[in-house]
Amino acid sequence: MQAVKIILLGAPVPSGPTLLEKHDVASDGSLSTDALAASSASETPEVAADRFAAIDIGSNSVRIVIAQAEAGGYRVLDEERENTRLASSLAETGALSQEAVESSITALKSFVTIARGYAVREVRAIATSAVRDASNGPDFCRRVSEEVGIEVVVISAHQEGRLSFLSVARAFDVSDKPVAVADIGGGSTEIVLATEGIVEAVLTTRLGAVRVAERCGLAGMCDGPRLEAAETFIDQELRRGAKKPPLVPAMLYGAGGTFTAMASMLAAREKSGEEASVRGYRANRADVRHLTADLAKLTLEERGKVAGLNPRRADIIVAGLLVIDRIMRHLKVNVVQVHTGGVRDGLLLTMIEAASAGGRPIAPDEREAAVERFAERCGVDLPHAKQVAWIARRLLAQLAVPLGLNETDTPLISAAAILANVGYLINFDQHHKHSYQLIRNSDLPGFERDELRLVANIARYHRGARPKQKHKPFAALSDEDQDRVAKLAAILRVALALDRTHQQQVQDLRVGVTENRVEITVRTSGDAEMDLWAARRKVDLFERVSGRRVYFAAVGE
């Protein structure tokens, strides 16, 4: 029998589910997290270098997909799933049931055997809401490690959404319009909002189909008052987790078993029972509401006989459809298109990309190039942005000591300068806040999660209000990082102003610092009076954080 190289995703779980604390999906497709560092259990020459297996341990089912890497993506060789209902007792007991745990471990053993038969290069396993929320999630992870031989990485809800979006972006063209991607699992629902293929926000809710069915009593026949109560509950959860969406999507893409079941039932009605494909199926909100109403009138037994619906999903389908309907209402979108992939497909893409990179670290020049590519995709005036970044670096080099900063801050302010105006992609008003969201969700290669958080905050404060404790993203930073953000944002404001005309007239600058003054002398290639005028108007934050008055002077070439 051929041996399989089992990739261990992170260290054994010590006291709680292993959460990926660094960004999940980088813009180059890799999982930029130390928790996904691989180590091999065994390997033989027979192992296929271009075959990979991804396992998704969900709240409702456990799935594996085995694929062969090809130019531009991959080809699926095999898929398998087992309904284990890990989340079935979670709402009542707060723990995974023994029966569900045993069923899942049995399924995972079978999956690894299947992967071994394909001689895959890597097996990676991720777990989502059920294991993440369960009190005995760590015990489950330990048992999988000991009995199956693979390490389970428990990913965050945010990372679930990003992996789903990566999968959708491979299957559909999402580059020309604002879109939303909803991934409805058993225990949670993630909603990703993106513009022109660039993620602006990942919204997470506790609205999984299993969780809602149990919470609202939707397993069997449901009368009007019960459905209305469930709608109210879902709406409240959406307002809590998704709040006000930053954009109105032109299309909603749906991933997960609820969406494919919906499409299968609607397609079966249209085809009079003939087998129909659900890949890319489109439905409007009226279709969803009519289907929900029809299924709610049926008993569980009757529902299990509906064409296109797997009987094992009969007790949670009404809950799942209600979640779809309320998401469409919340996002003000009338059409949903079904995606048959999901988290595991996004994971496969990251595995293949990481393997092709060979684990090579991102060089500084590659990181800068990635920042510039992202800025260009967002429509940024790149010559202006690069000029601002250069000015910011020159200012920082001469102000670092008096301001208590250091050279490690250089790539942060440089990236923030390049990306400060990416928020224009969404709209001009409040664009600095949109810049924060786009950067925060960008997963730029070469940046750690904490570094991206700092870059996003620096860019957010390039204009508008000064940093305040009432701003939640800023308040979440440590005191030290709050101080860094305020000082770097103050420098960035001056740098932006010194190219207010977008004509790159500043050729060099010199900074003189005394106890109570900062004198900035700029050498220009022409009349830079407008740039100097703008700079003098943008020193308020700098004067506040430095405790010094700022003065400007200009000299010609």
Q: What is the pLDDT of residues 150-174, one digit of tens each?
A: 999 999 888 888 899 999 998 898 8
**335 and 381 share one domain:** no
Buried/exposed code over 274-310 (b: 16+ C-beta within 10 A; e: otherwise): eebebeebebebebbbebbeebbebeeeebbebebbe
Residue 117 lies in a domain: yes
pTM of the model: 0.70
Let me know whether 337 and 225 are in one domain.
yes
pLDDT-wise least confident of 45-54, 367-376, 378-387, 486-495: 45-54
Q: Do 479 and 385 belong to one domain?
A: yes
358 torsion bin: left (phi>0), alpha (psi -120 to 50), beta (else): left
Q: With respect to residue 145, please indicate whether it lies within any of the assigned structural domains.
A: yes
d(C-alpha 283, C-alpha 290), whole Å? 11
Question: What integer pLDDT is reported at residue 249 of this predicted model?
Answer: 93
In terms of Cα–Cα distance, which of 204, 239, 202 is closest to 440?
Answer: 202
pLDDT of residue 366: 73
Total tally of structural domains belonging to the chain: 3
Largest distance between two CA atoms of the chain: 85
Q: Measured between alpha carbons, how far is 84 from 99 in angstroms, rounded to an integer?
A: 9
Residue-level pLDDT at 433: 87
* Token output for 279: 């890949």
Burial class of residue 421, CB neighbours in 10 A (0-12, 13-18, 19+): buried
CATH code (residue 63): 3.30.420.40
Contacts of 350 (CB under 8 A, 6+ apart): 24, 25, 29, 30, 31, 163, 166
Residues 194 and 312 in one domain: yes
**What CATH number has the domain bearing residue 286?**
3.30.420.150
Q: Domain range for residue 510?
A: 364-556
Both tokens of residue 267?
Answer: 């397609």
Q: Kindly state whether residue 445 falls inside one of the protein's structural domains.
A: yes
- pLDDT number for residue 377: 85
Indicate if 93 and 183 belong to the same structural domain. no
Which is higher by pLDDT, 425 or 309?
Answer: 309
Q: Does 123 lie in the same domain as 168?
A: no
Q: Is the pLDDT of residue 34 over 70?
A: no
Mean pLDDT taken over the chain: 86
| Chain-centre distance for alpha carbon 53 | 22
* One domain, residues 404 and 547: yes
In this prediction, residue 9 carries a pLDDT of 33
Of 118, 136, 155, which closes a domain?
Answer: 155
Q: Which of 204, 200, 189, 192 is nearest to 168 (CA)?
A: 192
Separation CA 86–CA 147 (nearest Å): 18
Q: Which residues on adjacent β-strands are paired with residue 25? A: 31
pLDDT of residue 370: 85
